[in-house]
Amino acid sequence: MYNTDLPTRAELPSSAQLVRSTLIAAGVAAALLVTVVLPSEYGIDPTGAGRMLGLTEMGEIKTQLAEEAEADRAKDQAGQAPGAPVAPATPAPEQRSSLLGSIFAHLVVGSAQAQTPAAAKSQEFSVTLKPGEGAEVKADMKKGAKLTYAWKVEGGAVNHDTHADGPGGNEISYSKGRGVPGDEGELTAAFDGNHGWFWRNRGSAPVTVKLTASGDFGSLQRK
């Protein structure tokens, strides 16, 4: 007794379909052999794909290590007494697998670490301004570096100029405002130099400006 119906002749694959599937499987296996196995195991890369994927370097390292192991084995044999057992010429499969895993992990982790950007720096700064007093706070930045900022005024409002200056007389103003209680945004350094803010208190009472900045910069300093 059985519970599954047998397939009919029409449901069975034809000879042509079997041949086509076999050829496709053989083609895929050949492609993997040339692009993955040969570069990663023996450092042989006829297509160049292994080099792009980082597999050829792995194979070259394995080959070099195997050659060094063989040289050490030959040196040890030269110093052995006649009749002494001979060490195997190549690492055992378990050793090769472990070596492959270690190299692969080193390459992948190293590449990931190299591509991971450094953690953004964050700093807070506070300055109190008397009536009529001004203050300038700048961050040392390289061209193209980015800084996200937010500042607010406690006790009133200020006039501000977000600007930069650098070597060779470089100057630029990113934004300006009058009677502003705060501002926020992203600053991209147009050149190497000092980038930041100038505030002036035009009110009749002291105010405190509190600034928070994060990104790629040296440090916030009052100029």
Residue 84 has a pLDDT of 52
59 against 44, higher pLDDT = 44
CATH number of the domain to which 206 belongs: 2.60.120.380
Q: In the structure, what pLDDT confidence band is assigned to residue 189 with cuts at 50, 70 and 90?
A: very high
Instruction: Give the integer Cα–Cα distance in Å for 160 and 180.
Output: 7
Residue 67 has a pLDDT of 75
Instruction: Give the integer Cα–Cα distance in Å for 21 and 112.
Output: 38
**In this structure, are residues 149 and 199 in contact, taking their beta carbons and an 8 Å threshold?**
no
Residue 90 has a pLDDT of 46
The reply to whether 110 and 188 lie within a common domain is no
Residue 68 has a pLDDT of 72
Average pLDDT over residues 48-69: 73
User: Which range, of 77-81, 152-156, 193-197, 214-218, averages the lowest pLDDT?
Assistant: 77-81
Average pLDDT over residues 159-171: 94
Q: Which of 52-56, 93-97, 136-140 has the highest mean pLDDT?
A: 136-140
Domain count for the chain, please give it: 2
The reply to whether 145 and 106 lie within a common domain is no
Range of the domain at 136: 121-222
List CB contacts of 51: < 8 A, sequence separation 6 or more.
Answer: 39, 45, 57
List CB contacts of 31: < 8 A, sequence separation 6 or more.
Answer: none
| pTM score, whole prediction | 0.48
Instruction: Give the integer Cα–Cα distance in Å for 96 and 51.
Output: 21
Q: Is pLDDT above 60 for 28?
A: yes
Classify residue 145: in a domain, yes or no.
Answer: yes
Average pLDDT over residues 145-149: 96
Q: Is pLDDT above 50 for 9?
A: yes
The reply to whether 97 and 188 lie within a common domain is no
What is the Rg, in whole angstroms, of the alpha carbon atoms belonging to the chain? Answer: 34
Classify residue 3: in a domain, yes or no.
Answer: no
Output phi, psi for 216, to 5 deg. Answer: -105, 95
